Chain A
Amino acid sequence: MSKQKDKNKRPKQKIFDIFKNNFIMLGKVAKHTPEYIFLMIAEGVVWGFLNSAVAVFNYTLLNAIDEKGDFEYAVKIILFMAAFDILAYAFERWYWCVQNPIIKQKLHMKMHRELFVKARSLDLSCFDDPEFYNDFVWAMNQSDRRAVEVIEDTGKLINRIVNSVTLFTILITVDPIVALILFLSSCVAIVCNLIGNKIGFEHDKEGNPIWRKNAYINRVYHLPDYSKELRTNRASELLIKEYEENIEKQVKMNIKYGKKYFVVYGLGWQGIGHITFFGILLYMVSLLARGEIAVGGFAASIGVIWTIRSTLSDLIERITKYSKHSLYIEKYLEFMRFEPQITGGKKDIPEFESLELRNVSFSYEFASHPKYKFHSKDHKVAEGAEGKEALKHVNIKISKNDKIAIVGYNGAGKTTLIKLIMRMYDPTEGEIFYNGVNIKEYDPEAYRERIGTVFQDFKIFATTVAENVMNGAYTEDDEQRVLDALASADFTDRLKTLDEGINTHLTREFNDKGTNLSGGESQKVAISRVFARDYPIIIMDEPSSALDPMAEYNLNHSILHNTEGKTVIFISHRLSTTRIADKIYMFDTGELIEQGSHEELLKMNGKYAEMFRVQSEKYQRQ
Chain B
Amino acid sequence: MAKEKEPKVKTEKKGKKEKKKKLPFQRTVSNNLFSLKMIWLASPLYLIIYLGSSVTYGILDFLTTGHLLRKIVNGVESGGSISGIITYVAILGVICVIYYLSMNYYWNVISQKLWPRITSSMNKLLFKKSAEVELACYENPEFYDRYVKAMDEATNRLYKVLNTVDNLVMKFVSLSANSILIFIIDPWLILFGVFPFLLGFFKRLDNIANHKMASEHKPSQRRANYVKRTFYLNDYAKEMRIGGMYVSMLRDLKDAYTEYKRIARKYGIRRAIYQYIQRIGLEVVTILGAMLYSVWSTLYVGSANGGMSIGDCIVVLGAIGGISHSLNGLIQNFAEFGEHALFLEDVRFFLDYQPTIVDGDRTASGEGGDIEVKGVSFRYDGSDKDTLTDIDFVWHKGERIALVGVNGSGKTTLVKLLLRLYDPTEGEISMDSTNIKDFTLSSYRDGFSTVFQDYKMFSLSVKDNVLLRPEREGDRELVENALKESGAYERVSKLENGIDNILTREFDDNGANLSGGEQQKLLLARVFADPTPFVLLDEPSSALDPNAEYKMFENMMRATEGRSVMFISHRLSSAVLADRVILMDNGRIAEMGTHAELMEKDGRYAEMFRRQAENYLGSEVSASE
Contact = CB atoms under 8 A, between A and B. Distances in A.
B102 to A, nearest CB: 9
A261 B109 CA distance: 9
Q: Interface size for chain B: under 10, 10 to 19, 20 to 34, or 35 or more residues? A: 35 or more
A93 B272 contact: yes
B617 A473 contact: no
B108 A261 contact: yes
B410 to A, nearest CB: 13
B415 to A, nearest CB: 10
B406 A550 contact: yes
Nearest to B606: A622
A476 interface: no
A553 B5 contact: no
A113 B407 contact: no
A192 B230 CA distance: 43
Interface residues of A, number: 168
A237 interface: yes
B44 to A, nearest CB: 18
A320 interface: no
Interface of A is mostly: helix
A218 B123 contact: yes
Contact of A286 (B82, B219, B515): B82
A1 interface: no
A221 B113 contact: no
Interface string A317-347: 0000000000000000000000000000000
Contact of B231 (A119, A244, A422, A449): A119
Given A549-B570, A577-B615, A216 B459 contact: yes
A379 interface: yes
A618 B557 CA distance: 15
A277 B97 CA distance: 10
Nearest to A509: B226
Contact of B235 (A97, A449, A459, A621): A459
Given A93-B276, A510-B222, A516-B5, A453 B242 contact: yes
Contacts of A611: 546-547
B508 interface: yes
B179 to A, nearest CB: 20
Contacts of A282: 86, 89-90, 93
Contacts, number: 455
Contacts of B298: 65, 69
B439 to A, nearest CB: 14
Contacts of B616: 575-576, 612, 615-616, 619-620
Contacts of A285: 72, 82, 85-86, 89
Interface stretch (A75-83, A366-374, A558-566): A75-83
B460 interface: yes
Contacts of A213: 459, 507-508
Contact of B116 (A247, A379, A470, A521): A247
B93 A281 contact: yes
B93 A274 contact: yes
A618 B576 contact: yes
B55 interface: no
Given A238-B468, A262-B104, A410-B545, A231 B226 contact: no
A614 interface: yes
Given A65-B295, A550-B406, A102 B261 contact: yes
B364 interface: no
A517 interface: yes
Given A78-B291, A455-B239, A510-B222, A136 B232 contact: yes
B336 interface: no
B310 A258 contact: no
B272 A97 contact: yes
Interface in B119-173: 119-120, 123-124, 126-128, 130-131, 135, 138-139, 144, 147-148, 151-152
Interface in A583-622: 611-612, 614-622
Contacts of B450: 228, 232-233
Given A136-B232, A459-B235, A239 B148 contact: no
Interface in B571-624: 571-574, 576, 595, 599, 608-609, 611-618, 621
Contacts of A130: 505, 509
Given A611-B546, A611-B547, A618 B238 contact: no
Given A282-B90, A579-B615, A614-B546, A82 B248 contact: no
B612 A549 contact: yes
B452 interface: yes
Contact of B76 (A90, A288, A303): A288
B131 A231 contact: yes
Contacts of B3: 516, 518, 521
A281 to B, nearest CB: 6
A238 B2 CA distance: 30
B482 to A, nearest CB: 14
Given A109-B257, A265-B108, A224 B144 contact: yes
Given A109-B257, A140-B228, 11 more contacts: A97-B275, A226-B456, A238-B464, A258-B109, A266-B108, A285-B82, A303-B318, A410-B544, A470-B244, A551-B407, A556-B615
6 contacts: A221-B130, A255-B113, A266-B105, A281-B89, A616-B613, A622-B576
